[in-house]
Structure 1
Amino acid sequence: MNRTNQILSFDPINPSDVGMREDTLLEMDRIIPSQFKNLNGIIIVRSNKTIFERYYNGYDIDDTCHIASVTKSVLSALIGIAVDKGYIKDLDQRVLDFFPEYKCSPAEVQKQAVTIRNLLTMRAPYIFKPLQEPMEKMVRRKDWITFSLDMMGKNGKIGEFKYANSSANLLSAILIRTTGKSAREFANEYLFKEIGIKEIPDNPNQTFDYEGLFGKDLKGWAKDPSGNSTGGWGLKLTTRDMARFGSLYINNGMINNKQIISKDWIQASIEGIPLEKDIHVVFQRYGYLWCIYEKDGLFAYMALGDGGNMICCIPEYELVVAIASDTMRKPRDRWELVENYILPSIIK
């Protein structure tokens, strides 16, 4: 197929026009309400053409969802744009160089050695055990950045995978310190406007309880008490916005013949580092805040978030799958939809 970099159109076309079977996708549509109950919206794009768009649970085109950790992949794009524009000079710059006011002991050698690249790849050590990050403690503090820096550099070695919202939050703080704009402001100017996402306004009345940061009162893009946009979660987008973002990546960062993110950044972002074998996840590698699936000849990269939020890009088929969901405990894995319905619908 001929890849286009034109801005994504949501005028639906027949799946057969891009070599996909409609009956398989309609079968998926039938099972979603009963088997994926918290799934609110799904869009499938092939060759920059929307072939499938459905909403559930009373949601519609203009409704936003909290995309949870998919926020991290958006932040990764913003770091890439900041690198492209020269705001950030080098991914191997040490994190503490951006926080000169922070004082640590000369004995804390690991903390002093952590780099931007370590944060992007989740290869920075922290004091907490894997998947036991003390988020409840952090959000009760007035200074989230100092709290994250205090935890960094302990209990592990640089280079070992440890998933941490703190890494993404520190990257967001580095973004505002290098560009003078919060991640929300920077995204509005250099990313969202370019790909057709509406400007996200500030929420001056945001609270810092669960509902204000994660739940029903969350609006736009959450921030910490110092005004840093949350990097690990907190962004609300429509399903179409998620599809727009995925399409930008599948088109190597170019929209309407304009390079929004450099192709080099995208390729580096999705190359990934292999994960240790005892980490039980569907993906096998982790890039710059992107999850990489590579198995049986299939390569895909995904932005994943709690509740089953997902942007899945499969370059071989010029395919983007965007799924917006409500947060719930132990949601059914959205990869099942890709593996059992979407990929089998492709006519080979």
Structure 2
Amino acid sequence: MIFFICCSSCNVFRSLRHGGIPSQSDYKHFAQRVIANEAPVYYFHKPIKDSHLGTKIGLVNRDFNGTNVSLDSFTTLHKTISFLIIRNDTIVYERYNKGYTSNSFVSSFSMVKPFVSTLIGIAIDEGKIKSENDLIIDYLPEFKNKIGWDKITIKNLLQHTSGIRFTDNKLNPVSDNAEFYWGDNLREKMLNLKLEYPPNTKFKYSSENTMLLGYIIEKVSGGTISNYLEDKIWKPLGMEAPATWSLDRDDDKAIEKTFCCLQARAIDFAKFGRLYLNGGNWNGKQIVSKRWVELSTHSDPSGNNKHFYNNNWGIGPLKYGSYFAVGLFGQYLYIYPEKKIIIVRFGDAETSYHPNYWQEVFLQIIDQMK
């Protein structure tokens, strides 16, 4: 008990020392694994002429005062550090603020979660995992003696219906979320998790589900999670620069913080979106099965899952077949298949706007694209 208190105090101190709330610069305080790229391939082109995109963005602020602003003004008003709009492999809008450039690393928070679910899909394609319906104890035998854990499936982790107890208050330095983010012993933390209710009972979005998916990837791939990402996605997609993934510690027990903390250029996040826009196919090579892409980007309310979230992708508006990866501070990888559009948006420090706010803005922008 004394050891637990000491460890918790260390994590609280680390959290408070760096400001408590996560920020874009936190990754500099964590150990990292490098995800190498090969010779970059430049699939996105600059337009021949100015598209005059987004000349009128209708905004409603917290006081419900409506106004129209330019897209450039919008990005500045909302502490945007990088904003890309790509259509048919052409960059029709590109903006960086606050000292960021096209070569800068941006740190993903929950926006990384679809990368993890994609690696699960690839492991299924390769036969390393038989099915998303498999029990997690088939791959993580150390959980066999935990009461109730023999009923949790990989699909439960993907859909956040596992029933595992997890507190997720980002402002509370002793919440499970803070312990995972700032902690330095995630393997032990995972083993100490407990059930709150049986699986398939309730949707509860939690970082521990994605952390356990990462642990399964490590087990079935026989290497690090970063290496699997490098071999299966980063190099095959011709990413323009290496990436890094933050670790919980700097020794042989280290593991990636798979619920967050992948650092890369904004354009390389867009390439991941392009992979999904093309049904998992990358210029003739099937990186992840079309089945997995369709499963992940369409609603599946089975097992009390939410109809607007599946395999760590947000779904909707359904009318447009759109889907998105979303993270803290309005991070977005938004895919609009009908018009072949990819939107990448990263921000820092702004917590006051709900994800639906950003989707409404994106749709305004898309509506102005002929």
TM-score normalised by length of structure 1: 0.80
Q: Quick check: 57-66 or 136-145, which moved more?
A: 136-145
Question: Secondary structure of the equivalent of 1:339?
Answer: helix
Is this contact kept in 2: 1:45–1:319, CA < 8 A? yes
2:368 corresponds to 1:345: yes
Is this contact kept in 2: 1:270–1:301, CA < 8 A? yes
Match of 1:288 in 2: 311
Q: How big is the shift at 1:275?
A: 10
Match of 1:164 in 2: 206
Question: Secondary structure of the equivalent of 1:334?
Answer: helix
**Can you list the C-alpha shifts for 1:194-251, whole angstroms capped at 9, x where unaligned?**
22225647xxxxxxxxxxxxxxxxxx21123433222110111211111111111111
**Can you list the C-alpha shifts for 1:267-296, whole angstroms capped at 9, x where unaligned?**
01111334999x9xxx9511111111135x
Residues 298, 8 of structure 1: alpha-carbon distance in 2 compared, 3 angstrom cutoff:
same
Match of 2:260 in 1: 233
Distance 1:47 1:119 in 2: 34
2:362 corresponds to 1:335: no
Match of 2:76 in 1: 33
Residues 327, 237 of structure 1: alpha-carbon distance in 2 compared, 3 angstrom cutoff:
farther
Alignment of 1:214-233 (within 5 A): 220-225=244-249, 226-233=253-260
Find 2:125's aligned residue among 79, 84, 87.
Answer: 84
**Can you list the C-alpha shifts for 1:160-196, whole angstroms capped at 9, x where unaligned?**
1111110101111100100112221111111011222
Match of 1:321 in 2: 343
User: Counterpart amino acid of 1:182?
Assistant: T
User: Counterpart amino acid of 1:312?
Assistant: Y
Find 2:293's aligned residue among 266, 280, 284.
Answer: 266
Q: How big is the shift at 1:21?
A: 5.2
Question: Secondary structure of the equivalent of 2:333?
Answer: strand
Task: Calculate the aligned-residue CA RMSD, in Å.
Answer: 2.9
Question: Secondary structure of the equivalent of 2:315?
Answer: strand
Distance 1:222 1:287 in 2: 25
TM-score normalised by length of structure 2: 0.75
**Can you list the C-alpha shifts for 1:30-88, whole angstroms capped at 9, x where unaligned?**
33212x12x11111111222211111111101101111101101111111111111211
Match of 2:33 in 1: none
2:69 corresponds to 1:46: no
Alignment of 1:104-119 (within 5 A): 104-105=145-146, 108-109=147-148, 111-119=149-157
Question: Secondary structure of the equivalent of 2:343?
Answer: strand
Is this contact kept in 2: 1:188–1:199, CA < 8 A? no
Distance 2:183 2:143 in 1: 16
User: Counterpart amino acid of 2:358?
Assistant: R
Task: Give the fraction of aligned pairs with identical amino acids, expressed as a percent.
Answer: 25
2:46 corresponds to 1:11: yes
2:99 corresponds to 1:58: yes
Find 1:126's aligned residue among 164, 186, 211.
Answer: 164
Q: How big is the shift at 1:141?
A: 5.6
Is this contact kept in 2: 1:188–1:200, CA < 8 A? no
Match of 2:330 in 1: 308
Distance 1:163 1:337 in 2: 24
Question: Secondary structure of the equivalent of 1:52?
Answer: strand
Distance 2:276 2:85 in 1: 15
User: Counterpart amino acid of 1:63?
Assistant: S
Match of 1:150 in 2: 192
Residues 134, 258 of structure 1: alpha-carbon distance in 2 compared, 3 angstrom cutoff:
same
Instruction: Extract unaligned runs of 5+ from structure 2.
Output: 1-40, 58-68
Distance 1:126 1:166 in 2: 8
Distance 2:256 2:186 in 1: 11
Q: How big is the shift at 1:28?
A: 1.3
Instruction: Extract unaligned runs of 5+ from structure 1.
Output: 1-5, 202-219
**Can you list the C-alpha shifts for 1:125-166, whole angstroms capped at 9, x where unaligned?**
022457686123345665423423432432354241111110
